[in-house]
Amino acid sequence: MRRSFTWRVFAPIALLIVLLTAGFGALTLRCGGAQSWKTLVPLGLIALALAWGIAWGISHPLRALTRQAQRVARGERTEIIPTARSDEIGQLSRAINALMRKLQTQIDALQSEQGTLRAMLQTMNDGVLIVDEAGRVALINAAAEQLFHLEPGWGTRRSLVEVLRHHQLIALWRTCRESDEEQRLTLELSRQQLFIQSIAAPLGQALPGHILMLFQDLTRVRRLETVRRDFISNISHELRTPLASLKALTETLQSGALEDPPAARRFLEHMETEVDALTHMVTELLELSRIESGQAPLQLRPTSAEALLQTAVERLRVQAERKGLTLTVEVTADLPPVLADAPRLGQVLVNLLHNAIKFTPTGGAIHLSAQQDGNRVVFQVQDNGVGIPADDLPRIFERFYKSDRARASGGTGLGLAIAKHIVEAHGGKIWVKSVEGEGSVFEFGIPREE
Ligand code: ADP
Protein backbone atom coordinates (compact mmCIF):
# COMPACT_ATOMS: atom_id res chain seq x y z
CA MET A 1 0.00 0.00 0.00
CA ARG A 2 1.37 3.41 -0.96
CA ARG A 3 1.32 5.77 1.97
CA SER A 4 1.18 9.53 1.49
CA PHE A 5 3.67 11.87 3.05
CA THR A 6 0.88 13.35 5.25
CA TRP A 7 0.11 9.91 6.57
CA ARG A 8 3.78 9.17 7.25
CA VAL A 9 4.11 12.38 9.32
CA PHE A 10 0.73 12.03 10.98
CA ALA A 11 0.84 8.32 11.92
CA PRO A 12 3.72 8.42 14.48
CA ILE A 13 2.40 11.67 16.07
CA ALA A 14 -1.11 10.18 16.24
CA LEU A 15 0.28 7.00 17.82
CA LEU A 16 2.18 9.10 20.35
CA ILE A 17 -0.97 11.11 21.19
CA VAL A 18 -3.06 7.94 21.59
CA LEU A 19 -0.41 6.32 23.78
CA LEU A 20 0.01 9.46 25.91
CA THR A 21 -3.77 9.87 26.29
CA ALA A 22 -4.16 6.19 27.21
CA GLY A 23 -1.17 6.41 29.64
CA PHE A 24 -2.52 9.49 31.36
CA GLY A 25 -6.01 8.02 31.43
CA ALA A 26 -4.78 4.80 33.11
CA LEU A 27 -2.69 6.76 35.61
CA THR A 28 -5.51 9.10 36.64
CA LEU A 29 -7.91 6.10 36.80
CA ARG A 30 -5.61 4.34 39.20
CA CYS A 31 -5.44 7.48 41.35
CA GLY A 32 -9.26 7.40 41.46
CA GLY A 33 -9.92 10.28 39.05
CA ALA A 34 -12.54 8.55 36.83
CA GLN A 35 -13.85 11.91 35.66
CA SER A 36 -10.52 12.86 34.00
CA TRP A 37 -11.32 10.60 30.92
CA LYS A 38 -14.02 13.06 29.96
CA THR A 39 -11.37 15.79 29.65
CA LEU A 40 -8.61 13.59 28.24
CA VAL A 41 -10.56 12.16 25.28
CA PRO A 42 -11.58 15.55 23.74
CA LEU A 43 -8.05 16.85 24.39
CA GLY A 44 -6.62 13.79 22.61
CA LEU A 45 -8.97 14.36 19.67
CA ILE A 46 -7.97 18.03 19.43
CA ALA A 47 -4.29 16.98 19.51
CA LEU A 48 -4.96 14.45 16.75
CA ALA A 49 -6.67 17.11 14.61
CA LEU A 50 -3.76 19.47 15.23
CA ALA A 51 -1.29 16.75 14.27
CA TRP A 52 -3.22 16.09 11.06
CA GLY A 53 -3.20 19.82 10.27
CA ILE A 54 0.56 20.06 10.80
CA ALA A 55 1.21 16.97 8.64
CA TRP A 56 -1.03 18.33 5.88
CA GLY A 57 0.65 21.76 6.12
CA ILE A 58 4.02 20.15 5.48
CA SER A 59 2.93 17.81 2.71
CA HIS A 60 0.65 20.22 0.80
CA PRO A 61 3.45 22.35 -0.78
CA LEU A 62 5.39 19.16 -1.48
CA ARG A 63 2.40 17.76 -3.35
CA ALA A 64 2.12 20.96 -5.39
CA LEU A 65 5.83 20.73 -6.26
CA THR A 66 5.40 17.07 -7.26
CA ARG A 67 2.50 17.97 -9.55
CA GLN A 68 4.60 20.73 -11.15
CA ALA A 69 7.51 18.35 -11.75
CA GLN A 70 5.11 15.80 -13.28
CA ARG A 71 3.73 18.45 -15.66
CA VAL A 72 7.28 19.34 -16.76
CA ALA A 73 7.98 15.64 -17.29
CA ARG A 74 4.89 15.46 -19.55
CA GLY A 75 6.24 18.40 -21.56
CA GLU A 76 3.60 20.90 -20.40
CA ARG A 77 4.36 24.52 -19.66
CA THR A 78 4.47 25.07 -15.86
CA GLU A 79 3.38 27.93 -13.73
CA ILE A 80 5.48 29.10 -10.85
CA ILE A 81 4.06 28.14 -7.43
CA PRO A 82 3.69 31.22 -5.26
CA THR A 83 5.24 30.70 -1.87
CA ALA A 84 5.62 33.09 1.05
CA ARG A 85 7.15 30.58 3.43
CA SER A 86 10.63 31.26 4.70
CA ASP A 87 11.30 27.78 6.14
CA GLU A 88 13.00 24.85 4.36
CA ILE A 89 9.87 24.06 2.34
CA GLY A 90 9.73 27.67 1.13
CA GLN A 91 13.38 27.46 0.13
CA LEU A 92 12.78 24.14 -1.65
CA SER A 93 9.82 25.69 -3.54
CA ARG A 94 11.93 28.66 -4.61
CA ALA A 95 14.80 26.41 -5.69
CA ILE A 96 12.43 24.21 -7.71
CA ASN A 97 10.75 27.31 -9.22
CA ALA A 98 14.15 28.61 -10.33
CA LEU A 99 14.98 25.19 -11.79
CA MET A 100 11.65 25.12 -13.68
CA ARG A 101 12.21 28.60 -15.07
CA LYS A 102 15.66 27.65 -16.33
CA LEU A 103 14.38 24.41 -17.77
CA GLN A 104 11.53 26.21 -19.51
CA THR A 105 13.95 28.77 -21.03
CA GLN A 106 16.10 25.93 -22.31
CA ILE A 107 13.10 24.05 -23.70
CA ASP A 108 11.90 27.27 -25.45
CA ALA A 109 15.37 27.85 -26.95
CA LEU A 110 15.55 24.23 -28.12
CA GLN A 111 12.07 24.37 -29.63
CA SER A 112 12.80 27.59 -31.48
CA GLU A 113 16.11 26.15 -32.76
CA GLN A 114 14.30 23.01 -33.88
CA GLY A 115 11.62 25.11 -35.60
CA THR A 116 14.25 27.18 -37.44
CA LEU A 117 16.06 24.01 -38.52
CA ARG A 118 12.83 22.41 -39.72
CA ALA A 119 11.79 25.55 -41.64
CA MET A 120 15.25 25.75 -43.21
CA LEU A 121 15.18 22.10 -44.25
CA GLN A 122 11.69 22.36 -45.68
CA THR A 123 12.42 25.49 -47.71
CA MET A 124 15.77 24.25 -49.04
CA ASN A 125 15.97 23.57 -52.77
CA ASP A 126 18.38 20.70 -52.18
CA GLY A 127 17.05 17.34 -51.06
CA VAL A 128 18.19 16.31 -47.56
CA LEU A 129 17.98 12.87 -45.96
CA ILE A 130 19.35 11.62 -42.64
CA VAL A 131 19.84 7.87 -42.42
CA ASP A 132 20.26 6.11 -39.05
CA GLU A 133 22.71 3.31 -38.29
CA ALA A 134 20.10 0.66 -39.21
CA GLY A 135 19.71 2.16 -42.70
CA ARG A 136 16.33 3.76 -41.99
CA VAL A 137 15.37 7.28 -42.97
CA ALA A 138 15.33 9.39 -39.80
CA LEU A 139 14.54 12.67 -41.57
CA ILE A 140 13.61 13.68 -45.10
CA ASN A 141 12.81 17.17 -46.38
CA ALA A 142 10.22 18.28 -48.94
CA ALA A 143 12.78 18.73 -51.76
CA ALA A 144 13.98 15.13 -51.38
CA GLU A 145 10.37 13.89 -51.34
CA GLN A 146 9.72 15.79 -54.55
CA LEU A 147 12.91 14.53 -56.19
CA PHE A 148 12.05 10.89 -55.49
CA HIS A 149 8.27 11.31 -56.04
CA LEU A 150 7.29 10.41 -52.46
CA GLU A 151 4.13 11.30 -50.58
CA PRO A 152 4.85 13.85 -47.81
CA GLY A 153 5.92 12.00 -44.65
CA TRP A 154 5.87 8.57 -46.33
CA GLY A 155 9.65 8.07 -46.28
CA THR A 156 10.28 8.65 -42.57
CA ARG A 157 11.29 5.44 -40.69
CA ARG A 158 11.33 3.44 -43.94
CA SER A 159 14.46 1.74 -45.22
CA LEU A 160 16.71 3.78 -47.51
CA VAL A 161 16.44 1.09 -50.20
CA GLU A 162 12.67 1.48 -50.24
CA VAL A 163 12.84 5.28 -50.34
CA LEU A 164 15.57 5.88 -52.96
CA ARG A 165 15.13 2.77 -55.14
CA HIS A 166 18.47 3.49 -56.83
CA HIS A 167 21.38 1.08 -56.47
CA GLN A 168 24.10 3.70 -57.05
CA LEU A 169 22.75 5.93 -54.28
CA ILE A 170 22.47 2.97 -51.88
CA ALA A 171 26.06 2.02 -52.74
CA LEU A 172 27.11 5.62 -52.06
CA TRP A 173 25.55 5.46 -48.57
CA ARG A 174 27.21 2.07 -47.88
CA THR A 175 30.66 3.30 -48.93
CA CYS A 176 30.24 6.39 -46.75
CA ARG A 177 29.19 4.26 -43.77
CA GLU A 178 32.07 1.79 -44.21
CA SER A 179 34.78 4.37 -44.86
CA ASP A 180 33.37 6.98 -42.46
CA GLU A 181 34.31 9.59 -45.06
CA GLU A 182 32.36 11.98 -47.29
CA GLN A 183 31.42 10.50 -50.68
CA ARG A 184 30.21 12.30 -53.82
CA LEU A 185 28.46 11.05 -56.92
CA THR A 186 27.05 12.77 -59.99
CA LEU A 187 24.45 10.76 -61.81
CA GLU A 188 21.45 10.87 -64.07
CA LEU A 189 18.10 9.69 -62.74
CA SER A 190 16.69 8.47 -66.02
CA ARG A 191 13.19 7.82 -64.62
CA GLN A 192 12.87 11.43 -63.44
CA GLN A 193 15.02 12.78 -66.32
CA LEU A 194 17.15 14.59 -63.77
CA PHE A 195 20.83 15.14 -63.41
CA ILE A 196 21.83 15.24 -59.74
CA GLN A 197 24.88 15.55 -57.55
CA SER A 198 24.66 13.48 -54.39
CA ILE A 199 26.83 13.92 -51.29
CA ALA A 200 26.88 11.43 -48.39
CA ALA A 201 28.57 12.64 -45.20
CA PRO A 202 28.85 10.95 -41.80
CA LEU A 203 27.40 13.07 -38.99
CA GLY A 204 30.22 12.00 -36.62
CA GLN A 205 29.91 12.83 -32.95
CA ALA A 206 26.80 14.95 -33.54
CA LEU A 207 24.74 11.83 -34.38
CA PRO A 208 26.95 8.72 -34.24
CA GLY A 209 26.23 6.17 -36.97
CA HIS A 210 23.95 8.58 -38.87
CA ILE A 211 24.66 9.73 -42.42
CA LEU A 212 23.49 12.90 -44.10
CA MET A 213 22.63 12.60 -47.78
CA LEU A 214 22.32 15.75 -49.87
CA PHE A 215 20.88 15.87 -53.41
CA GLN A 216 21.49 18.87 -55.64
CA ASP A 217 19.51 19.15 -58.86
CA LEU A 218 21.99 20.11 -61.58
CA THR A 219 19.60 19.55 -64.49
CA ARG A 220 19.15 23.26 -65.25
CA VAL A 221 22.83 24.07 -64.89
CA ARG A 222 23.74 21.18 -67.17
CA ARG A 223 21.13 22.14 -69.73
CA LEU A 224 22.44 25.71 -69.75
CA GLU A 225 25.97 24.38 -70.18
CA THR A 226 24.87 22.25 -73.12
CA VAL A 227 23.06 25.22 -74.68
CA ARG A 228 26.17 27.38 -74.25
CA ARG A 229 28.45 24.71 -75.70
CA ASP A 230 26.11 24.09 -78.64
CA PHE A 231 25.79 27.82 -79.20
CA ILE A 232 29.56 28.35 -79.39
CA SER A 233 30.07 25.34 -81.64
CA ASN A 234 27.17 26.43 -83.90
CA ILE A 235 28.28 30.01 -84.18
CA SER A 236 31.86 28.94 -84.99
CA HIS A 237 30.53 26.60 -87.61
CA GLU A 238 28.28 29.26 -89.15
CA LEU A 239 31.06 31.86 -89.23
CA ARG A 240 33.64 29.49 -90.68
CA THR A 241 31.87 29.02 -94.02
CA PRO A 242 31.59 32.70 -95.08
CA LEU A 243 35.01 33.52 -93.60
CA ALA A 244 36.68 30.64 -95.48
CA SER A 245 34.93 31.77 -98.64
CA LEU A 246 36.10 35.39 -98.14
CA LYS A 247 39.65 34.19 -97.51
CA ALA A 248 39.62 32.09 -100.70
CA LEU A 249 38.23 34.99 -102.76
CA THR A 250 40.85 37.43 -101.38
CA GLU A 251 43.65 34.98 -102.13
CA THR A 252 42.39 34.47 -105.67
CA LEU A 253 42.28 38.23 -106.22
CA GLN A 254 45.79 38.63 -104.81
CA SER A 255 47.19 35.83 -106.95
CA GLY A 256 46.31 37.50 -110.24
CA ALA A 257 42.53 37.78 -110.64
CA LEU A 258 42.86 41.54 -110.02
CA GLU A 259 44.47 41.78 -113.45
CA ASP A 260 41.28 40.37 -114.99
CA PRO A 261 38.66 43.11 -114.32
CA PRO A 262 35.50 41.09 -115.25
CA ALA A 263 36.61 38.20 -113.01
CA ALA A 264 37.64 40.63 -110.25
CA ARG A 265 34.18 42.23 -110.35
CA ARG A 266 32.52 38.81 -110.06
CA PHE A 267 34.71 37.96 -107.09
CA LEU A 268 33.93 41.28 -105.42
CA GLU A 269 30.20 40.67 -105.88
CA HIS A 270 30.62 37.26 -104.31
CA MET A 271 32.54 38.83 -101.43
CA GLU A 272 29.77 41.36 -100.91
CA THR A 273 27.21 38.52 -100.66
CA GLU A 274 29.33 36.80 -98.02
CA VAL A 275 29.79 40.04 -96.07
CA ASP A 276 26.01 40.64 -96.26
CA ALA A 277 25.36 37.12 -94.92
CA LEU A 278 27.79 37.74 -92.05
CA THR A 279 26.21 41.11 -91.27
CA HIS A 280 22.75 39.52 -91.35
CA MET A 281 23.84 36.82 -88.92
CA VAL A 282 25.47 39.29 -86.52
CA THR A 283 22.36 41.52 -86.63
CA GLU A 284 20.12 38.55 -85.86
CA LEU A 285 22.38 37.41 -83.03
CA LEU A 286 22.37 40.89 -81.54
CA GLU A 287 18.59 41.04 -81.82
CA LEU A 288 18.27 37.66 -80.12
CA SER A 289 20.57 38.60 -77.27
CA ARG A 290 18.79 41.94 -76.79
CA ILE A 291 15.39 40.24 -76.54
CA GLU A 292 16.74 37.54 -74.24
CA SER A 293 18.46 39.94 -71.88
CA GLY A 294 15.40 42.19 -71.79
CA GLN A 295 17.48 45.16 -72.99
CA ALA A 296 14.89 46.14 -75.53
CA PRO A 297 11.55 46.21 -73.71
CA LEU A 298 8.47 45.89 -75.87
CA GLN A 299 6.38 48.99 -76.62
CA LEU A 300 2.95 47.37 -76.43
CA ARG A 301 0.11 49.21 -78.17
CA PRO A 302 -3.27 48.17 -79.59
CA THR A 303 -2.37 47.03 -83.10
CA SER A 304 -4.51 45.87 -86.00
CA ALA A 305 -3.77 42.26 -86.91
CA GLU A 306 -4.75 42.90 -90.52
CA ALA A 307 -2.32 45.84 -90.80
CA LEU A 308 0.47 43.63 -89.45
CA LEU A 309 -0.25 40.94 -92.07
CA GLN A 310 -0.53 43.44 -94.93
CA THR A 311 2.76 45.16 -94.01
CA ALA A 312 4.64 41.82 -93.96
CA VAL A 313 3.09 40.79 -97.29
CA GLU A 314 4.00 44.13 -98.93
CA ARG A 315 7.61 43.78 -97.80
CA LEU A 316 8.00 40.34 -99.41
CA ARG A 317 5.49 40.41 -102.29
CA VAL A 318 8.17 41.05 -104.94
CA GLN A 319 10.26 38.09 -103.72
CA ALA A 320 7.23 35.80 -103.80
CA GLU A 321 6.22 36.96 -107.29
CA ARG A 322 9.76 36.55 -108.57
CA LYS A 323 9.57 32.92 -107.45
CA GLY A 324 6.14 32.47 -109.05
CA LEU A 325 4.29 31.95 -105.74
CA THR A 326 0.69 32.92 -104.99
CA LEU A 327 0.32 35.05 -101.89
CA THR A 328 -3.10 35.46 -100.23
CA VAL A 329 -4.28 37.15 -97.02
CA GLU A 330 -7.51 36.41 -95.16
CA VAL A 331 -8.74 38.14 -92.01
CA THR A 332 -12.07 37.42 -90.28
CA ALA A 333 -14.48 40.32 -89.80
CA ASP A 334 -14.51 42.17 -86.43
CA LEU A 335 -11.05 40.96 -85.56
CA PRO A 336 -10.05 42.70 -82.29
CA PRO A 337 -6.71 44.53 -82.14
CA VAL A 338 -3.83 42.78 -80.40
CA LEU A 339 -1.57 44.27 -77.75
CA ALA A 340 1.70 44.32 -79.64
CA ASP A 341 4.99 45.99 -80.43
CA ALA A 342 4.20 46.40 -84.12
CA PRO A 343 7.75 46.43 -85.59
CA ARG A 344 8.74 43.37 -83.53
CA LEU A 345 5.61 41.33 -84.25
CA GLY A 346 5.94 42.40 -87.89
CA GLN A 347 9.45 40.88 -87.79
CA VAL A 348 7.94 37.53 -86.69
CA LEU A 349 5.56 37.55 -89.67
CA VAL A 350 8.40 38.54 -92.03
CA ASN A 351 10.60 35.69 -90.72
CA LEU A 352 7.79 33.14 -91.17
CA LEU A 353 6.81 34.46 -94.58
CA HIS A 354 10.44 34.58 -95.68
CA ASN A 355 10.83 30.90 -94.73
CA ALA A 356 7.59 30.00 -96.51
CA ILE A 357 8.90 31.66 -99.71
CA LYS A 358 12.31 29.99 -99.29
CA PHE A 359 10.93 26.50 -98.74
CA THR A 360 8.11 26.51 -101.29
CA PRO A 361 8.98 25.55 -104.87
CA THR A 362 7.88 27.66 -107.84
CA GLY A 363 4.14 27.50 -108.49
CA GLY A 364 3.33 26.97 -104.81
CA ALA A 365 0.90 28.95 -102.66
CA ILE A 366 1.29 30.83 -99.40
CA HIS A 367 -1.71 31.79 -97.32
CA LEU A 368 -1.65 34.22 -94.38
CA SER A 369 -4.56 34.58 -91.99
CA ALA A 370 -5.64 35.74 -88.54
CA GLN A 371 -8.65 34.83 -86.42
CA GLN A 372 -9.89 35.34 -82.90
CA ASP A 373 -9.57 32.42 -80.49
CA GLY A 374 -10.94 33.27 -77.05
CA ASN A 375 -8.94 36.12 -75.58
CA ARG A 376 -6.19 35.91 -78.17
CA VAL A 377 -5.70 36.34 -81.90
CA VAL A 378 -4.07 33.46 -83.78
CA PHE A 379 -1.91 34.29 -86.81
CA GLN A 380 -1.22 31.65 -89.44
CA VAL A 381 1.40 31.35 -92.21
CA GLN A 382 0.65 28.36 -94.38
CA ASP A 383 2.58 27.02 -97.37
CA ASN A 384 2.47 23.93 -99.56
CA GLY A 385 6.25 23.67 -99.77
CA VAL A 386 8.78 21.02 -98.83
CA GLY A 387 7.57 20.60 -95.22
CA ILE A 388 9.66 19.62 -92.20
CA PRO A 389 10.66 16.04 -91.26
CA ALA A 390 8.80 14.84 -88.12
CA ASP A 391 12.12 14.22 -86.30
CA ASP A 392 13.13 17.87 -86.72
CA LEU A 393 9.84 19.42 -85.60
CA PRO A 394 10.59 19.47 -81.83
CA ARG A 395 13.89 21.28 -82.42
CA ILE A 396 12.92 23.69 -85.14
CA PHE A 397 12.77 26.75 -82.82
CA GLU A 398 16.29 26.22 -81.43
CA ARG A 399 19.03 28.65 -82.39
CA PHE A 400 20.95 27.63 -85.51
CA TYR A 401 18.75 24.60 -86.08
CA LYS A 402 18.18 23.78 -89.74
CA SER A 403 16.25 20.71 -90.72
CA ASP A 404 18.28 20.16 -93.84
CA ARG A 405 21.59 21.98 -93.83
CA ALA A 406 22.19 21.59 -97.58
CA ARG A 407 18.71 22.78 -98.51
CA ALA A 408 18.65 25.61 -96.02
CA SER A 409 22.23 26.68 -96.45
CA GLY A 410 21.09 30.20 -97.30
CA GLY A 411 19.73 30.87 -93.79
CA THR A 412 21.29 31.29 -90.39
CA GLY A 413 18.90 29.08 -88.44
CA LEU A 414 18.12 32.03 -86.17
CA GLY A 415 14.87 33.30 -87.69
CA LEU A 416 12.54 30.95 -85.82
CA ALA A 417 14.45 31.34 -82.53
CA ILE A 418 13.95 35.10 -82.81
CA ALA A 419 10.26 34.63 -83.70
CA LYS A 420 9.74 32.40 -80.66
CA HIS A 421 11.39 34.89 -78.31
CA ILE A 422 9.37 37.83 -79.64
CA VAL A 423 6.07 35.91 -79.42
CA GLU A 424 6.81 34.75 -75.87
CA ALA A 425 7.81 38.28 -74.84
CA HIS A 426 4.28 39.28 -75.94
CA GLY A 427 2.84 36.63 -73.59
CA GLY A 428 2.00 34.44 -76.58
CA LYS A 429 2.88 31.01 -77.92
CA ILE A 430 4.17 29.76 -81.28
CA TRP A 431 3.86 26.29 -82.78
CA VAL A 432 4.12 24.45 -86.09
CA LYS A 433 2.33 21.66 -87.93
CA SER A 434 4.11 20.21 -90.89
CA VAL A 435 4.18 17.13 -93.10
CA GLU A 436 7.30 16.50 -95.14
CA GLY A 437 6.56 16.93 -98.81
CA GLU A 438 3.15 18.53 -98.20
CA GLY A 439 3.86 21.86 -96.53
CA SER A 440 3.93 23.66 -93.20
CA VAL A 441 1.63 25.78 -91.06
CA PHE A 442 3.27 28.11 -88.54
CA GLU A 443 0.87 29.58 -85.99
CA PHE A 444 1.19 31.95 -83.07
CA GLY A 445 -1.32 33.35 -80.62
CA ILE A 446 -1.07 36.86 -79.15
CA PRO A 447 -3.31 38.22 -76.36
CA ARG A 448 -5.99 40.53 -77.74
CA GLU A 449 -6.40 44.03 -76.43
CA GLU A 450 -9.03 43.98 -73.62
P1 ADP B 1 16.75 29.86 -91.50
O2 ADP B 1 17.40 31.18 -91.47
O3 ADP B 1 17.70 28.76 -91.78
O4 ADP B 1 15.51 29.84 -92.31
P5 ADP B 1 14.96 29.51 -89.34
O6 ADP B 1 15.21 29.50 -87.88
O7 ADP B 1 14.04 30.53 -89.85
O8 ADP B 1 16.37 29.63 -89.99
O9 ADP B 1 14.44 28.09 -89.73
C10 ADP B 1 15.09 26.95 -89.25
C11 ADP B 1 14.86 25.78 -90.15
O12 ADP B 1 13.50 25.39 -90.13
C13 ADP B 1 15.13 26.06 -91.59
O14 ADP B 1 16.49 25.93 -91.90
C15 ADP B 1 14.30 25.01 -92.28
O16 ADP B 1 15.00 23.80 -92.32
C17 ADP B 1 13.09 24.86 -91.36
N18 ADP B 1 11.93 25.65 -91.84
C19 ADP B 1 11.51 26.83 -91.35
N20 ADP B 1 10.38 27.23 -91.99
C21 ADP B 1 10.08 26.30 -92.88
C22 ADP B 1 9.05 26.13 -93.85
N23 ADP B 1 8.07 27.02 -94.03
N24 ADP B 1 9.07 25.01 -94.60
C25 ADP B 1 10.03 24.08 -94.43
N26 ADP B 1 11.04 24.17 -93.54
C27 ADP B 1 11.07 25.26 -92.78
**HEC assignment per residue over 274-311:** HHHHHHHHHHHHHHHHHHHCCCCCCCCEEECHHHHHHH
Lowest-pLDDT choice from 244-253, 293-302, 351-360, 398-407: 398-407
Cα–Cα distance, 36 to 22 (Å, whole number): 11
Please say if the pLDDT value at position 414 is more than 90. Answer: no
Q: Is 202 left (phi over 0), alpha (psi -120 to 50) or beta?
A: beta
User: Would you say 407 and 278 are in contact if contact means Cβ atoms under 8 Å apart?
Assistant: no
Please say if the pLDDT value at position 409 is more than 60. Answer: no
Q: Mean pLDDT highest for which of 90-104, 236-250, 414-428?
A: 414-428
- Going from the Cα of 370 to the center of ligand 1, the distance in angstroms, rounded, reads 21
Of the two residues 426 and 1, the one the predictor is more confident about is 426
- Going from the Cα of 389 to the center of ligand 1, the distance in angstroms, rounded, reads 11
Cα–Cα distance, 329 to 312 (Å, whole number): 11
Q: Model-level pTM greater than 0.75?
A: no
- Going from the Cα of 355 to the center of ligand 1, the distance in angstroms, rounded, reads 6
C-beta 357 within 6 A of ligand 1: no
C-beta 386 within 6 A of ligand 1: yes
Mean pLDDT of the chain: 88
C-beta 359 within 6 A of ligand 1: yes
- List pLDDT tens digits, range 313-350: 999 999 999 999 999 999 988 899 999 999 999 999 99
In sequence order, which residues have a C-beta less than 8 Å from that of residue 182 and are 6 or more positions away? 176, 199, 200, 201, 202
Confidence of residue 82 (pLDDT cuts 50, 70, 90): low
Instruction: Pick the closest to residue 383 from 361, 408, 360, 351 (CA basis).
Output: 360
Cα–Cα distance, 447 to 450 (Å, whole number): 9
**Which DSSP symbol is given to 258?**
G
C-beta 440 within 6 A of ligand 1: yes
Please say if the pLDDT value at position 410 is more than 80. Answer: no
Per cent of the chain over pLDDT 90 is: 49
- Going from the Cα of 303 to the center of ligand 1, the distance in angstroms, rounded, reads 27
Instruction: Pick the closest to residue 80 from 70, 94, 92 (CA basis).
Output: 94
Cα–Cα distance, 105 to 444 (Å, whole number): 63
Q: Which residue out of 359, 395, 398 has the highest number of ligand 1 atoms within 8 Å of its CB and is therefore the one to mutate? A: 359
Lowest-pLDDT choice from 176-190, 387-401, 405-419, 428-442: 405-419
Please say if the pLDDT value at position 2 is more than 60. Answer: no
The reported pLDDT for the residue numbered 98 is 84
Q: Whose CA is nearest to atom 14 of ligand 1?
A: 402
The reported pLDDT for the residue numbered 406 is 45
216: enclosing H helix or E strand? strand 211-217
Cα–Cα distance, 69 to 62 (Å, whole number): 11
C-beta 360 within 6 A of ligand 1: no
- Going from the Cα of 155 to the center of ligand 1, the distance in angstroms, rounded, reads 49
C-beta 353 within 6 A of ligand 1: no
SS3 388: coil
C-beta 404 within 6 A of ligand 1: yes
C-beta 415 within 6 A of ligand 1: yes
